[in-house]
Structures are given as structure tokens and as C-alpha cells.
């Protein structure tokens, strides 16, 4: 890429200027070739015997054609060289390191969000006595709750006892006969209600103890996760501040390197293009007058 450049030579602006001059000269030469004429014409007036030229060859010498073609080839060569040099300079700017590459060794990796603890992970740290107590309360609360629920077995049995106490007989037709079923509660309603209320108290006590452990568990989970999140946010804030500092440094560095490429990488004209370059310089001087 750097084979086009040296400490002395043409800037991009100057090189583009001379490439444009070369293009204008090519147009002039193409116009000459398009109207190429190798014959002279004269018209003769028979009435007067006079003749006069009507068209002349636009070629002074035959080798002029080869000179024009060679010049066009060299001019196209000059333009192609300048374009490649300018492209190489632009590519050098494009190939300057991207921010993430430039900052790779200057900043740590972005902090990763922590793996937050769960109720299960905290429970796995409990001593066996606490874990078994929790499991016992959990199951007992579920069993008692299911039994005395609105449609639970104990609730339904209690309701049945209350009903038959108020309705001790049931009539039923069987084989054209009426059967009377006498039903009575096996226990006193007061005793059943007392048992039912005691079960409710027991269930509430299980729920109370279970909820206390659950609250403690949730508090511990939140405490650890809040701490982990606060530490993560602090690290992320520091990392972002450092990133912003480096981006500012990166922009300055890239600006300096871009200016260096644009101003110090001068396009060197090779030996084989020196003659055509001098010719273009002469055209430029004429155009400036």
C-alpha cells in the first residue's frame, strides 16, 4: 500500500488536479483521432478551370498518430496510477483500528450481570434441622388446609353432621314400599365444632410458622440479590465512564492518524511517468495564465 507514497510528492488535491488535466488532454486527443483524415481534397471548376482546397489532412506527419496514441496510453496510465494511489490512501484511513480493537488492551471486559440467588440456592445452605422443619410445616399446612377447605373432607363431614341433626329422617321408596332412614350424628355437634375449630387453629399455626420461614427466606434472597445488583451497577458505571474516556482518546488518535495520512503520505510520481507529469505541469501553468 505504501509503495505509492513518500515524504515528498503530491497531495491528494494536487494529484486529482493533474488527473483532471490528463483527462482533458485525452478528450482533446480523442477529438483529433475521431476526425482523423489522411487525405487532401480540392475542387475543380470546369467552367473557369480554377481549383481550391476543400479539405486538408489534419496530420502533419504519420508518426503523429503514434505519438497521440502513446500519449493517450500514458495519460490513462497516469490517471490509473493516481486513482490507485488515492484509493490506497483512503483504504489506509478505512483500515485504521475500530474502537473495540483499539480499546481491547486498555479496558476490561464489560462486567457481566451476576447470577442472582434463588430460594432453592439459599435453602441448599440451610442446616438439616431447618430444612426438615420447613418441609414438615409445608406439608402439614397443605394437608390440614386441604382437609378443612370449603370442599375439604373434614368440612364436608362437619356440614353433613349439622344437616342430619336438623333432618334426622330420610324417606325413600323401595319396592313399592316407603323406607325411613334414621340418621344421627355420631358425635355431639359441639364436639365436632370444637374439633373443627382446633384443626383451624392448628392449620393457622402451621401457616404462621411456615410464612415466617418463607419471609425470612425471601428477605435473605432479596438481601443478597440487592447487594449483588448494587455491586454490578457500580462496576458497570465505572466501566462506562472508562469507556467514554477511551472513546474520546480514540477519536483524537484516529483524527491525528487520519490527518497524518492525508498530509504526510505524498503521492510519488514514478520515473516512467515523470515526462507526462512535466507535460501536465506545463498545461497547468498555461491554464493559470
Task: Look at residue 243 in the predicted model and tell me its pLDDT.
Answer: 93
Distance between CA atoms of residues 74 and 177, nearest Å: 130
Q: How many CA atoms lie within 13 Å of 172's alpha carbon, on the beta-carbon side? A: 8
Q: Cell 442446616, residue?
A: 127
> What are 109-118's pLDDT values in tens digits?
999 999 999 9
Run of H or E including 177: strand 177-182
Distance between CA atoms of residues 130 and 136, nearest Å: 10
Is residue 55 a contact partner of residue 254, using CB atoms and an 8 Å limit? no
DSSP assigned state of 170: E
Q: Where are the domains of the chain?
A: 2-95, 119-157+188-244
> What are 186-224's pLDDT values in tens digits?
999 999 999 999 999 999 999 999 999 999 999 999 999
pLDDT at 53 over 80: no
Mean pLDDT value of segment 265-281: 93
pTM, two decimals, is 0.61
Task: Look at residue 54 in the predicted model and tell me its pLDDT.
Answer: 62
With cut-offs at 50, 70 and 90, classify the pLDDT of residue 1. low
Instruction: Kindly report the backbone phi and psi dihedral angles of residue 89, in degrees, each rounded to the nearest multiple of 5, phi listed first.
Output: -65, -45
Which residues share a beta bridge with 177? 174
> What are 123-132's pLDDT values in tens digits?
999 999 999 9
Task: Look at residue 167 in the predicted model and tell me its pLDDT.
Answer: 87
With cut-offs at 50, 70 and 90, classify the pLDDT of residue 175. confident
In this structure, what C-alpha cell is assigned to residue 288?
493559470
Distance between CA atoms of residues 118 and 115, nearest Å: 9
In this structure, what C-alpha cell is assigned to residue 246?
477511551
| Average of per-residue pLDDT values in the chain | 90
With cut-offs at 50, 70 and 90, classify the pLDDT of residue 287. low
Count CB atoms within 10 A of the CB of residue 155: 16
In this structure, what C-alpha cell is assigned to residue 254?
484516529
Q: Where do runs of H (alpha helix) occur along the chain?
A: 12-34, 63-94, 99-102, 119-123, 128-147, 153-166, 189-264, 274-288
Mean pLDDT value of segment 263-285: 91
With cut-offs at 50, 70 and 90, classify the pLDDT of residue 289. very low
pLDDT at 82 over 50: yes
Is residue 180 a contact partner of residue 170, using CB atoms and an 8 Å limit? yes
What percentage of the chain exceeds 90 in pLDDT?
A: 69
pLDDT at 23 over 80: yes
Amino acid at each position: 500500500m505504501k509503495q505509492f507514497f513518500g515524504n515528498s510528492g503530491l497531495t491528494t488535491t494536487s494529484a486529482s488536479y493533474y488527473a483532471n488535466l490528463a483527462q482533458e488532454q485525452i478528450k482533446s486527443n480523442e477529438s483529433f483521432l475521431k476526425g482523423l483524415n489522411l487525405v487532401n481534397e480540392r475542387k475543380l471548376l470546369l467552367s473557369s478551370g480554377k481549383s481550391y482546397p476543400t479539405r486538408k489532412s489534419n496530420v502533419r506527419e504519420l508518426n503523429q498518430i503514434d505519438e497521440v496514441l502513446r500519449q493517450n496510453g500514458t495519460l490513462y496510465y497516469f490517471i490509473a496510477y493516481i486513482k490507485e494511489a488515492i484509493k490506497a490512501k483512503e483504504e489506509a484511513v478505512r483500515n485504521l483500528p475500530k474502537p473495540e480493537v483499539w480499546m481491547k488492551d486498555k479496558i476490561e471486559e464489560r462486567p457481566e450481570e451476576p447470577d442472582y440467588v434463588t430460594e432453592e440456592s439459599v435453602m441448599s445452605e440451610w442446616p438439616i434441622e431447618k430444612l426438615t422443619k420447613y418441609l414438615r410445616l409445608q406439608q402439614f399446612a397443605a394437608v390440614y388446609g386441604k382437609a378443612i377447605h370449603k370442599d375439604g373432607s373434614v368440612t364436608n363431614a362437619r356440614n353433613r353432621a349439622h344437616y342430619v341433626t336438623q333432618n334426622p329422617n330420610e324417606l325413600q321408596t323401595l319396592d313399592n314400599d316407603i323406607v325411613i332412614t334414621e340418621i344421627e350424628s355420631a358425635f355431639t355437634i359441639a364436639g365436632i365444632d370444637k374439633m373443627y375449630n382446633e384443626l383451624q387453629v392448628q392449620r393457622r399455626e402451621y401457616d404462621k410458622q411456615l410464612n415466617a420461614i418463607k419471609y425470612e427466606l425471601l428477605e435473605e434472597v432479596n438481601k443478597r440479590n440487592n447487594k449483588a445488583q448494587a455491586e454490578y451497577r457500580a462496576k458497570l458505571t465505572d466501566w462506562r465512564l472508562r469507556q467514554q474516556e477511551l472513546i474520546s482518546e480514540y477519536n483524537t488518535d484516529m483524527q491525528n492518524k487520519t490527518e497524518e495520512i492525508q498530509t504526510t503520505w505524498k503521492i510519488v510520481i514514478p520515473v516512467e511517468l515523470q515526462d507526462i507529469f512535466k507535460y501536465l505541469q506545463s498545461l497547468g501553468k498555461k491554464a493559470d495564465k
